[in-house]
A and B are shown apart, each in its own frame.
Chain A
Amino acid sequence: MRRRSGVILAAIGLGLAGCGGEAKAPDGAWQSQMREVRMAVRGSEDDPMITRRLTAYKTYIGKATGLPVKLYESSDYNGTIQALSSGQVDIATMAGGGYANVDAQIGDLAQPILTVRQAEGDTGYYSGLLVMAESPYRTIQDLRGKTLGYVDFNSTSGYLFPRAVMREQGIDPDTFFGKSSFAGGHTQAVMALDNGQFDATIIQAGGGDPEHGFTTGAHYTMARRGVVELDDFRIIWTAGPIPNSAVVVRTDRPQPFVDAVRGAMAALPYDDPEVWRDIGQPDGAAYTAVTREHYAPIIKLRADDIAARRAGERR
C-alpha cells in the first residue's frame, strides 16, 4: 500500500513537473485575485419583484466568471455611487448622472463599459413632466409659481438633465416654480403627485419617444402593479434623449475581470433571453460598449451643477 501511494504521488508530481516553467497566467488565474464579484444593484422601488428576479442574473454572472456573486442593494442613488466610489463593489449599473458623480469623486478609477441600445437603435431615454390628467396644466408655462417634485439630487432624468434643458429654454427652475423639493425616488414622486403634494413632478420616460409616446417609467410600472391608474396622468413636457444607464466598473480590478464580465453581460440577450427580460430589459435591446466620452455631456452638467452649488449660486 505504501509503495502504491508513493507511485500515485510520484505520478502527480511528474504531472506537475510537466506543467511547470510557464510564466504566463493561466485562464482563470485572475479569479484568485477577485475571490468574488460584488455588484451594486439599486432596489427598484417601483418594482420590488426585480430584486427577486435578479437571482437568475446573479447565477448567470457567477457561472460566466466562475466566482460567487454578491449583490449589494442600495435604496437610493447615493448608496450605489458611494459603494462604487469607495471600492466596496466592483461593478454597478447607474444612470449617467450617477456615473458623473462617481467620475467627479474617483476619475479614472471608474469606467463605463456598456450601455443598452434599444431595438430601434436608440441609446437614450427621456425626462417627462407629469401632471394629473384632470389638472388644467397643458404646457410647462402653465406651471409658473406651482409646486414641482424632483426625484433625487443624484437622478439624471429626475433632476439634473431636465433642469439644464429648462434653463436652455429660458426657464430658471429655481425661480419659475413656486416651490420644489425632492421626492426621494421615481415611485415616491408619482405617489406624491397622486396625493396632491405637488402640482407636477419630473419622472423618467422610456420605451418610446415624445412623438410616439412612452411605455416604460415609474408610473407605467406602478399601473401594471395596480398601484395607480395610467389614465390619471399626463406628460406635458419632455427633455432628452439622455444617455442610457451605464454599467460601470472599477478599473483597479484585474483587466480579465473587466473583459469577462463585459463579455458575459454583452452576450446575455443572446445566450439567455429570459434572464435578459428578468432584469427588465426589453426584447431586441442589447448592450453596446461605451467609454467616458459617451457621458461627457452629463459629466459637464454635473460639474456645472456642483460648481454652482459650491459657489453658493442658487440655480
Chain B
Amino acid sequence: MKRLLLAAGAVLLSAAQAQAPVLPLRIADITGQAGPCAPPGADLPAAQRAYVELLAQRLDTDVLSCPVADAASAARALASGAVDLARLDGAAFGPVSGETRSILTTRATGDLNRLPVVVAVPRAASAQSLGDLAGASLVFAGAQKANLDVPRRALADYGAADAFFGAQIVARDHEDAATRLRAGQAQALVLHAGAWQKLCRGDQPGEDLCEDLRVVWRQRPVAKGAWAIRTDMSDDRRFRLIGIHVAMHNESPQAFAWAAGEGAAEFEPTEAKALLAQGPTVGS
C-alpha cells in the first residue's frame, strides 16, 4: 500500500509539475519611484513595448514591469524575490552578490569580448601578485585593442592603472614581448589570455613553452553594468533569457535598442560575479 501511495503521489506530482503555471517574468524598471509590478501600460514607448512583447512571446509568459526607485532598490527587490531580472551596477550588486548573479552585459560597437588578461613574470622573480608589481616595468604584446586597451582597462579595474607601474614598453607582438621580458627589458609581461595560450603552446605533445615564466594575475575587466537574476532561477529560464538576448540585435533591433541602450552592438553573456573584482584590488 505504501508503495502504491508513493507511486500514485509521484505520478500526481509529476502531472502537477507539468501543469504548473508558468511564472511571470518581473523586470525591475528604475523610474525613481517604487510601485507594484504590473503589465506594461498603453503609454509604453514602442521600443520598450517591442522588448516586453518579445520576451512574453518567447518565454510564453506574462512580463511585468516593476517600478523601483534606484539600482540599489532593484538589487534588494531581486534578492528578496520581488523581481526576477534587474540591471545593476557593481555598487548595487555587491550587497546582494550572495543571492544573485549577473548573466548579461553589453558589448559596445567596436569593442572586443571581455577578454581575460594575464600578467606573467620570470619564474625566478619574487613577485607573487599584482600588488607586488608596484613600480615594475611592463611589456605589452602589441598596440592593438586586444593587446593594449583591454589589458590596461582590466588592470585599472583592479586598481593598477598606468601610474601604478613603472616604464611601459609596447612590443610588436606576443612573441616579441616575451623575448623582451626574458631579456630583462621589462619585469612583467601583460597580454590577453588568447595570446598567452598561443605563446605557451608548443608544437610537441604536452610541450609548455612558458615553463620559465609564471602567471601572477589573470582576470577579465569588471563589467560596468549587467543584467542580474537570482541564483535560484531555473537553468531553463536563465539560458533561454541569455539565448533570446544575445540574438536580439538580429531578431528585434527595436527591442534591442531599448534594452541594450545607445552604442551597444550586442548582448554578451557574463560570469556570475562579472560586476565585481574577482580577487584583491591593489591596495585592498
Interchain CB contact under 8 A, A119 and B21 = no
Whether a CB of chain B sits under 8 angstroms from the CB of A314 is: no
Interchain CB contact under 8 A, B12 and A263 = no
Give A60 Cβ to nearest chain B Cβ, in Å. 11
> Cβ of B242: which chain A residues have Cβ within 8 Å of it?
262-264, 266-267
Whether a CB of chain B sits under 8 angstroms from the CB of A195 is: no
Whether a CB of chain B sits under 8 angstroms from the CB of A28 is: yes
Whether a CB of chain B sits under 8 angstroms from the CB of A236 is: no
Within the assembled complex, what's the spacing in Å between the Cα atoms of A119 and B60?
Answer: 35
Q: Which of A243-291 contact B (CB under 8 A)?
A: 255-256, 258-264, 266-267, 269-271, 273, 282-291
Interchain CB contact under 8 A, A26 and B22 = yes
- A263, A270, A282: which contacts B194 (Cβ < 8 A)? A282
Within the assembled complex, what's the spacing in Å between the Cα atoms of A266 and B250?
Answer: 15
- B5, B112, B207: which contacts A120 (Cβ < 8 A)? B112
> Cβ of B76: which chain A residues have Cβ within 8 Å of it?
none
Whether a CB of chain B sits under 8 angstroms from the CB of A27 is: yes
Interchain CB contact under 8 A, A224 and B201 = yes
Stretch at the interface among A7-15, A72-80, A131-139, A196-204: A7-15
Q: Which of B135-191 contact A (CB under 8 A)?
A: 144-146, 173
Interchain CB contact under 8 A, A288 and B198 = no
Interchain CB contact under 8 A, B5 and A5 = yes
Interchain CB contact under 8 A, A19 and B22 = no
Tally of A interface residues using CB under 8 Å: 65
Interchain CB contact under 8 A, A119 and B113 = yes
> Cβ of A48: which chain B residues have Cβ within 8 Å of it?
none
Q: Which of B1-23 contact A (CB under 8 A)?
A: 1, 5, 8-9, 12-13, 15-23
Stretch at the interface among B28-36, B66-74, B125-133, B233-241: B233-241
Binary interface encoding of chain B residues 52-74 relative to chain A, with 1 for a CB under 8 A from any of its CBs, else 0: 00000011110000000000000
> Cβ of A291: which chain B residues have Cβ within 8 Å of it?
250
Known A15-B16, A66-B235, A271-B271; contact A283-B246, beta-carbon cutoff 8 A: no
Whether a CB of chain B sits under 8 angstroms from the CB of A215 is: yes
Known A119-B195, A259-B244; contact A264-B239, beta-carbon cutoff 8 A: yes
Whether a CB of chain B sits under 8 angstroms from the CB of A191 is: no
- B196, B207, B266: which contacts A283 (Cβ < 8 A)? B196
> Cβ of A16: which chain B residues have Cβ within 8 Å of it?
12, 15-16, 19
Interchain CB contact under 8 A, A224 and B113 = no
Interchain CB contact under 8 A, B270 and A284 = no
- B115, B192, B240, B266: which contacts A263 (Cβ < 8 A)? B240
Q: Which of B251-284 contact A (CB under 8 A)?
A: 266, 268-271, 274
Interchain CB contact under 8 A, A270 and B269 = yes
Within the assembled complex, what's the spacing in Å between the Cα atoms of A63 and B234?
Answer: 11
> Cβ of B23: which chain A residues have Cβ within 8 Å of it?
27
- A5, A24, A64: which contacts B22 (Cβ < 8 A)? A24
Interchain CB contact under 8 A, A28 and B234 = yes
Within the assembled complex, what's the spacing in Å between the Cα atoms of A261 and B247?
Answer: 12
Specify the chain B residue showing the minimal Cβ separation from A230: B203
Binary interface encoding of chain A residues 110-125 relative to chain B, with 1 for a CB under 8 A from any of its CBs, else 0: 0001000111110000
A binding-site residues for B, Cβ under 8 Å: 1, 5, 8-9, 12-13, 15-16, 19-22, 24-29, 31-32, 63-66, 113, 117-121, 207-208, 212, 215, 220, 223-226, 230, 255-256, 258-264, 266-267, 269-271, 273, 282-291
What would 8 more interface pairs be, CB under 8 Å, given A21-B21, A259-B58, A262-B242?
A12-B16, A27-B22, A119-B112, A120-B144, A121-B145, A256-B236, A259-B243, A284-B194
- Contacts A/B (CB < 8 Å), 17 sampled: A9-B8, A16-B16, A25-B22, A27-B240, A65-B239, A117-B113, A121-B145, A224-B205, A259-B58, A259-B243, A263-B239, A263-B246, A264-B239, A264-B242, A267-B269, A270-B271, A289-B249
B binding-site residues for A, Cβ under 8 Å: 1, 5, 8-9, 12-13, 15-23, 58-61, 103, 112-113, 115-116, 144-146, 173, 192-198, 201-205, 207, 234-244, 246-247, 249-250, 266, 268-271, 274
